[in-house]
Amino acid sequence: MSATASGWVLAASFATAAVAPLLARWFGRNTGYALGMLYAAGGAILAAQAPAIVRGEPIVASMEWIPSLDVRLSISLDGLSLLFSLLILWIGAIVSVYSARYFSPGGSVGRHYGLMSLFAASMLGLVLSDNVIAMFVFWELTSITSFFLIGGNGKTGSKQAMRAFLVTGLGGLALLGGLLLMSVVAGSTSLREIFAGGSAIVDHAAAPAIMALIILGAFTKSAQMPFHFWLPGAMVAPTPVSTYLHSATMVKAGIYLLARMSPLFGGQRGWMIPIVLTGLITALAAAAAHTMAHALYKATLFMIVGVVDHQAGGRDIRELHGLGRMMPITATVAALAAMSMAGLPPFFGFVSKEESFGALLAAPGAGWIAPVAAALAVLASMLTFAYSARLIEGAFGGQPTRPLAEPPRGLLAPAAVTAVAGLVLTGALPRLISLLDRIAQDAVGTAGHVKFALWHGITPALGLSVITITGGLALYALRRRIDTGFDRVRLPASGTGSFDAVYDTIVAAGRAAGRPFISRAAAIHASWVLGAVIVAAGGAWLAYRTAQPPPVAATPGEDWLIVALIAVAAGAAIRARSRIAAVALIGATGFLIAVLYVLLGAPDLALTQLLVETLTVTLVVMVFRRLPRRFEPVRGARRLRAAGIAIVTGTLAGAAAYAFAGRRPLSDVAGYYLEAAEPVTGGSNVVNTILVDFRALDTLGEITVLAVAALGVYALVRLAKGGGA
């Protein structure tokens, strides 16, 4: 295993995403088993790096990407990255195996597997990136792929997916701003170098803005208050998608980001408040352990919901009763996960929760932080306990109303694996401690000296655990009264409601802004475009009218001849009553302009002008076959308005052409192109070398716009013709 192993795992995961749809064509839903094996193996390769990482040798590999912007694909595998990578790969493996039995045989699953594996690869890239720009690109990739994953479920799905995407997308923009500010201040885009700079950033005036933007990105992604509202809606996705996105990956991306940035900002008050609120207080070792426990029990419960949905045909807890008697194994698996979630010993959830309590009580910083953080954690844990109990009692308790069977083994086994892992991990604690300690060191910069254990003796943390369980039991016992109490509460605003209101306002504003331009009359569209030309050209003239004009070279006589011919053709086009005649005359002006280009020594331009003119005239003639032969007469005011616009535009454009064409010395840039074209690009046609070499990126942008616009027009025309798909 060399330093590049993690790089290869990342590359392989993207390759997997590329071939997954093909695999799905051959193997159908069983593709999940192949993906599961690949992810398990990838995770094992990374896990094999653990000893080196524990010794404190982060594994770094780097490749130039856009050197001029200091963007490189550098990969850094330290304890924190390793933890999240293993969650992504191993939970990914389990979810893939689950998918293999979740979808019905023979269904179309290429899209699902392709997107899931692309999402997994992007997540992996996100947690492995050392370069902030690369990290942001992967961050956005996860937003985009999750949009398609959530929206895959029909009409309601697309609305929910849009909400999730807009919220996380806005957060992504904030994150980009924060990361860019940070790299500008630090003078580097490498996280390792930025962290090495340390206090220079924290003391900089922009530090509060950087922190706020990064926190905004993390909170939207993790669906933290007040951005929580997109999360429930996103559950319209198929269960494997929800399982993966919300237990191990998407939501954890925000947590990863906060943990990643903590060595830099830890101790800043502005940073600590959200960290305390999310329970991500400095003892990152506890948070890391809890991340693991959370991923395991949440994944189990999501998969169990899918199982129940599959067997009982619904997942509304009010309509499910007594599943425990009909499906004892399912109920047992669910109970194992729920107990870990509730924080009962000897589950891993208990260990991680107790460790968190201990860490929160010992939280450094201002005096208020520790008690407030611990109290919040206890309150949250009580609620978690209560809903864990409610979930199990509601779905599995009581008398069955109709016969139901246990699910197929292939569907239940993955959930059982994660549930049992929640127990086994407690036993494996001694082996994990050194790694967790390293994670703490990566995230805080100092060793955590954590002592994870089931039994610490009588400690304050144990006291908090007892309070949590007692409080949770009380909440559960009083659930009916609490329910009716909550039913009476009417919040003045809901997240979804406010979001939709803002969304509708923006759409309405857009519609209002576009209204002046919506017309079936070509004249309206033309007058806006020509009006813009008048403003631009007139503005330029006003700005530069006092500038010293360059020496005016004499215009050769043959130029004037062409100009005169153009004027004649244009005048005749104005007078023409027949549409075809007008088009032909306008075409004639175009051809004459091509001649002018030849005289000016621009053969490429002349050729293009000639061809465009030919095609335009032909195509316009074809369209005009459907219109009346003659123009309809235009009345006075409109005629005057059109004439006014035409005359002003024409005069300004003509003046500009006269002023610029061949009446100034060669610019420096032009001189450079003429000189460098041949040696640099191997081509002697400067026009072409500008298009495909010097400014190839511009051309790429232009052809992308052209292709996308054309595809859009095709789709609209098809739609208008009622051709459907």
Q: How far is the CB of 611 from another protein (least distance, A)?
A: 4
342 Cβ neighbours under 8 A, 6+ residues apart: 349, 384, 385, 388, 389, 469, 472
Q: How far is the CB of 11 from another protein (least distance, A)?
A: 12
- Does 697 interact with another protein (rule: CB under 8 A)? yes
Note whether 289 and 452 are within 8 A (CB): yes
Note whether 359 and 352 are within 8 A (CB): no
How far apart are the C-alpha atoms of 312 and 600, rounded to whole Å? 80
Q: How far is the CB of 214 from another protein (least distance, A)?
A: 28
* Among residues 27, 65, 195, 499, the one that binds another protein under rule CB under 8 A: 65
Q: Which two tokens stand for residue 333?
A: 């698996």
Number of residues that bind another protein (CB under 8 A): 43
Q: How far is the CB of 609 from another protein (least distance, A)?
A: 10
- Does 700 interact with another protein (rule: CB under 8 A)? yes
Smaller CB separation from another protein, 520 or 721: 721
- Does 457 interact with another protein (rule: CB under 8 A)? no
- Does 460 interact with another protein (rule: CB under 8 A)? no
- Does 685 interact with another protein (rule: CB under 8 A)? yes
Q: How far is the CB of 714 from another protein (least distance, A)?
A: 6
Question: 3-class DSSP state for residue 400?
Answer: coil
The interface with another protein within residues 579-618 (CB under 8 A) comprises: 603-604, 607-608, 611-612, 614-615, 618
Q: Which stretch binds another protein (CB under 8 A): 32-40, 258-266, 493-501, 688-696?
A: 688-696
Q: How far is the CB of 109 from another protein (least distance, A)?
A: 24
How far apart are the C-alpha atoms of 137 and 122, rounded to whole Å? 9
Q: Which stretch binds another protein (CB under 8 A): 59-67, 101-109, 258-266, 434-442?
A: 59-67
The burial of 544, by beta-carbon neighbours within 10 Å (0-12 exposed, 13-18 middle, 19 or more buried), is given as exposed
Q: How far is the CB of 496 from another protein (least distance, A)?
A: 37
How far apart are the C-alpha atoms of 216 and 174, rounded to whole Å? 6
- Does 375 interact with another protein (rule: CB under 8 A)? no
- Does 703 interact with another protein (rule: CB under 8 A)? yes
Smaller CB separation from another protein, 67 or 514: 67
Smaller CB separation from another protein, 364 or 701: 701
Question: 3-class DSSP state for residue 494?
Answer: coil
HSE-CB for 701 with a 13 A CA cutoff: 4
DSSP H stretches of helix in 151-268: 154-186, 191-197, 199-202, 207-221, 230-233, 239-243, 250-265
Q: Which two tokens stand for residue 86?
A: 């293993």
Smaller CB separation from another protein, 404 or 617: 617
- Does 692 interact with another protein (rule: CB under 8 A)? yes
- Does 693 interact with another protein (rule: CB under 8 A)? yes
Smaller CB separation from another protein, 520 or 625: 625
* Among residues 428, 574, 619, 627, the one that binds another protein under rule CB under 8 A: 619
Q: Which stretch binds another protein (CB under 8 A): 114-122, 201-209, 550-558, 693-701?
A: 693-701
- Does 682 interact with another protein (rule: CB under 8 A)? yes
Give the CA angle between residues 293, 298, 302 to the nearest 5°: 160
How far apart are the C-alpha atoms of 271 and 283, rounded to whole Å? 15
Q: How far is the CB of 17 from another protein (least distance, A)?
A: 16
In the chain, the N- to C-terminal Cα span, in Å, equals 50
- Does 68 interact with another protein (rule: CB under 8 A)? yes
Q: What are phi and psi of 345, to 5 degrees?
A: -70, 150
Residue 583: alpha-carbon gap to chain centroid: 48
* Among residues 480, 488, 635, 721, the one that binds another protein under rule CB under 8 A: 721
- Does 4 interact with another protein (rule: CB under 8 A)? no
Q: How many Cβ atoms from other residues are within 10 Å of residue 721's Cβ?
A: 8
Q: Which two tokens stand for residue 631?
A: 């123009």
- Does 725 interact with another protein (rule: CB under 8 A)? no
- Does 710 interact with another protein (rule: CB under 8 A)? yes
- Does 627 interact with another protein (rule: CB under 8 A)? no
Smaller CB separation from another protein, 665 or 723: 723
Cross-strand partners of 131: 190
556 Cβ neighbours under 8 A, 6+ residues apart: 599
How far apart are the C-alpha atoms of 489 and 511, rounded to whole Å? 36
| Interior/surface letters 680-706, b for 16+ CB within 10 angstroms, e for the rest | ebeeeebeebbeebbeeeeeeeeeeee
Q: How far is the CB of 119 from another protein (least distance, A)?
A: 22
Backbone φ/ψ region at 519: left (φ over 0), alpha (ψ -120 to 50), beta: beta
- Does 719 interact with another protein (rule: CB under 8 A)? no
Question: 3-class DSSP state for residue 548?
Answer: coil
- Does 691 interact with another protein (rule: CB under 8 A)? yes
- Does 684 interact with another protein (rule: CB under 8 A)? yes
Q: How far is the CB of 111 from another protein (least distance, A)?
A: 18
How far apart are the C-alpha atoms of 685 and 117, rounded to whole Å? 45
- Does 681 interact with another protein (rule: CB under 8 A)? yes
- Does 131 interact with another protein (rule: CB under 8 A)? no
- Does 635 interact with another protein (rule: CB under 8 A)? no
Contact residues toward another protein (CB under 8 A) are 64-68, 603-604, 607-608, 611-612, 614-615, 618-619, 622-623, 625, 681-685, 687-689, 691-693, 696-697, 699-700, 703-704, 706-707, 710-711, 713-714, 717, 721
